[in-house]
Amino acid sequence: MATGGDDFSLKAILRPLMAIIVGMIMVILDSTVVNNAIPKLVEYFDTDLKTIQWTVTGYTLALSAVIPLAGWMADKFGSKQIFMITIALFTIGSVLCGIAQTPEQLIIYRIIQGLGGGMVGPIGMAMVFKLAPPERRGSIMGVLGIPLLIAPAFGPVLSGWLVDSVSWHWIFIINLPIGIIAFILGYKYLPKSDRHAAPHLDVIGMCLAPIAFSMLAYGVSEGGTSWSKASTITGLTVGGIALILFIFVELAQKQPLLELKAFKSSDFTRSIIMTWIVQLPLFGTMLIVPLYLQGVMHYTALETGWILMPYALCAGLGMPISGRLFDKIGARPLAFAGLTVITISLFILSGISVDTSLWVIILCICILGLGMGFTMMPLNTHVLNSAPRRLVNRVTPLTTAASQVVLSFAVAGLTGYLTSQITSHAESAGADANPLNAVVAGYGDTFFLSACIVAAGVALSLLLRKPKQLEEDGTVGGDNPDPAMMGH
């Protein structure tokens, strides 16, 4: 528990803080290492990209399913207990992934990983808040933030080294010793947590949400090949019906799994749609770029990791600057500027050819990172500011889970589109043409589609305004998001 501000020192909570940091870094690293290994997984399992992308899509959908349950589980069973259980589940899932024999096994084991990893971040953040007194939380979160910013930067490099020098299996098996250390540290040093009366659990919503989002993601993935074939129509129909039922159930619940009533605020709706528009192409692009670097330019996985590092570094550079500017000028100019540079970068990438210099690609990656850094923090803050005050505590799981769903749609949709465009260009070029030209043209089309999506976001950013809080919103539930509900 937190001690008084006068008696408090970082040394007093260093050991439990280390337990939380090790657990969170393990999950964050895993979210970044797999993208760089996708080409190797396609080759090893002798399958196609559309199948292997489900190792990412299934993982993110599992994350989105359990993130809203973090607060309920922590209340019901205690934060320490759930944190350690989720670390154990994630570690077991990682080992299973490392020994997978078929792509189907790998997808299933990645889902197990996601079910464990989804709650590590929210519960870890909540425990950090409880460890430190209110007046020292900023500095403690700063300590926590340093390794959490470093992890995404070095994730692709670590992945590349393991894939090239050891084996792709080790991008998962390496979590075993890290998970054991996190579990031991948590068992020894995390304070015992009290159980509280848990709120009502929305079981129907909990069942409908995974069906809706997984089937829609499947339909979008299949639609990349053909929007009229049976599998596409089935996925979109089943997912659409489940989504409609989910919306009706959530609106009728007093304590819903996801607080959809927040969408009654037009400011909230505009800002969260803007956030999704940014996330769709960015998430998809950061999967497509490693595929291009390894499949077309023939860089190794390690070289690809170093090439991708500037993205995370530039994003980390942009975030604190945009945070300071947000307080002075608000979200609209930052979103407009950030989305504009992202659009320019993607349009440059859409003109990619077999002769395009690596330095052009690195420059585009840097611009993408800066644009993300300048856009995401202001938009995320604007989303919370524009939610009705009485719903803020329940909006954080909605936005965090929705981000994972959007990521799954981005990966499924853009990989499906990439595959179909490569096939289309190859068929139109004929048997005598250089097949590499068709592949490059397919990547160019995918970057162009991403650029068009972000360009629509540039126009929509002009509609952002300072949120108007209605009197009836009140302040019930507090002005600050519950850290137990926040994602990583």
pLDDT of residue 27: 86
Residues 383-393, mean pLDDT to the nearest whole number: 71
Residue 469 has pLDDT above 60, yes or no: no
Residues 26-55, mean pLDDT to the nearest whole number: 87
Residue 100 has pLDDT above 90, yes or no: yes
**Which one is predicted more confidently, 374 or 6?**
374
Please state the φ and ψ torsions of residue 10, each to the nearest 5 degrees: -60, -35
Residue where the block lists tokens 């990791």: 305
pLDDT of residue 1: 47
pTM of the model: 0.82
Q: Which string of DSSP letters, residue by residue, matches 194-246?
A: ----PPPP-HHHHHHHHHHHHHHHHHHHHHTT-SSSHHHHHHHHHHHHHHHHH
* Averaged pLDDT of the chain: 82
Residue type (1 letter), 349 = L
pLDDT by residue (tens digit) across 305-315? 999 888 888 88
pLDDT level of residue 97 (50, 70, 90 thresholds): very high
Contact indicator for 476, 300 with CB cutoff of 8 Å: no
Tell me which long-range contacts 197-201 makes (C-beta under 8 A, separation of at least 24).
197/75, 198/72, 198/75, 198/76, 199/72, 199/75, 199/255, 200/254, 200/255, 201/69, 201/72
Residues near 251 by Cβ (< 8 Å), separated by ≥ 6?
A: 260, 261
Residues 450-477, mean pLDDT to the nearest whole number: 71
Residue 9 has pLDDT above 80, yes or no: no
pLDDT level of residue 79 (50, 70, 90 thresholds): confident
pLDDT by residue (tens digit) across 322-364? 877 877 888 888 889 999 999 999 999 999 888 889 999 999 9
Residues 173-180, mean pLDDT to the nearest whole number: 92
pLDDT of residue 475: 41
